[in-house]
Amino acid sequence: MSHLMALNKIKIIEDGDVTSPKGFLAGGLHCGLRKKKYDLGWLYSVKPATAAGVYTTNLFQAAPLKVTQESIAKGHSLQAVVVNSGIANACTGEEGLANAYEMRQLLADKFDIPLHEAAVASTGLIGEQLPMKKIRSGIDQINQQESKQTNAFETAILTTDTKEKKVAVSVEIDGKTVTIGGAAKGSGMINPNMATMLAFITTDANVETESLDQALKQHTKQSFNMITVDGDTSTNDMVLVLANGMADNQLLNYDHPEWQIFLEGLYKVCEILAKEIARDGEGASKLVEVHVAGATTNEAAQVIGKKIIASNLVKTAIHGSDPNWGRIVTAIGYSGQILNPDDVCVSLGEIDVVTNGMPVLFNEQQAKDYLAKDTVTIYTKVGHGLGEATAWGCDLSYEYVRINASYRT
């Protein structure tokens, strides 16, 4: 099936979330890690779900990630996830690891599931121990009957985010409606490979384990790993996908004739969440999208796109609505990728500013007006190759400095 045909079969579910797929419940509550806001979220599947995960590349990997990876490795399935915000449980040594294990045990006991089918995640301040008395009380308060409280899970996982991030789509496979939902958090320290970012994806599709794992890795590379806010990579990043099979479709794998439909649906969820994270960057006022074409390979295009979107000079110019295209070509030039500067073309939206490595006349005020929009798209062509990619980020504002200058206070 063609890529376009698969895309045409995707339906966005209005107000969809992680509970849109059959058999998933989620909720959130306040257990005292933060002053007033929800700070403990939970996600539950009524039956064990095939699971896969992708994790931060930061060598200081937080304790919850180690515990969750251990759970998935045990049986490649999960049934429940608990997430706390406010404290990252990172760089916390043996005590922190013991606390993460205790969180997993408490969750497994709460839902009466095998230990290895429980997972944990944390986000927030690095270097502080979790107040386990509050965590114990919070997990004890989990009530499945309150699972439909609007945005409770999405709210509980936030830190400096200004809004919840959620989505759900449906596709038809084997004559069955398959639903894929997702929730995410992320606002600062975003330079995924991954970054201060958590994403939880649910689906009622019946999917073979290895195929689900490879699909998640592929789509993470093209979505979450193509966003940047500030170039920093955190200790706690994780993307989890749970597939409980309750849509009752035939087992999906690479050989299934409608595998591409599922892939496109999964990618759409990842892409929307990734863009929402980029749009909600700390202090951001604009979403910036960079399209790169003509590179030697897709991987080369990805590197170039990330270099442009990560450039503080590009980000500040966009914040000031300054059409300073020189900063864009500079970022292309130091990307380390093979290209001929005489082939490079750059456009701000539909406004051409560079053609074949040379500036072109353009209306300065028109360009300023375009860059003042809340979504800015930069198009670049760097050669005659087939490699292409899209990256997302945001502008860099005075507000970003204010937020991060006082993060601990």
| Residues tagged active-site | 196
Work out whether strand 238-243 and strand 198-203 pair parallel, antiparallel, or are unpaired. Answer: parallel
Q: Are 16 and 169 in contact (CB under 8 A)?
A: yes
Q: How far is CA 43 from CA 118, 298, 368, in A?
A: 10, 35, 45
Residue 353: helix, strand or coil by DSSP?
A: strand
Distance CA 400, CA 241 (A): 31
Q: Which residue spans within 117-204 are E strands per DSSP?
A: 118-125, 165-173, 176-185, 198-203
What residue has token string 């996982």? Answer: 157
CB 123 within 8 A of CB 83: yes
- What is the rounded CA–CA span in Å between residue 197 and residue 186? 5
The single-letter code of the amino acid at 238 is: M
Rg (CA), the chain: 22
d(CA 81, CA 43): 5
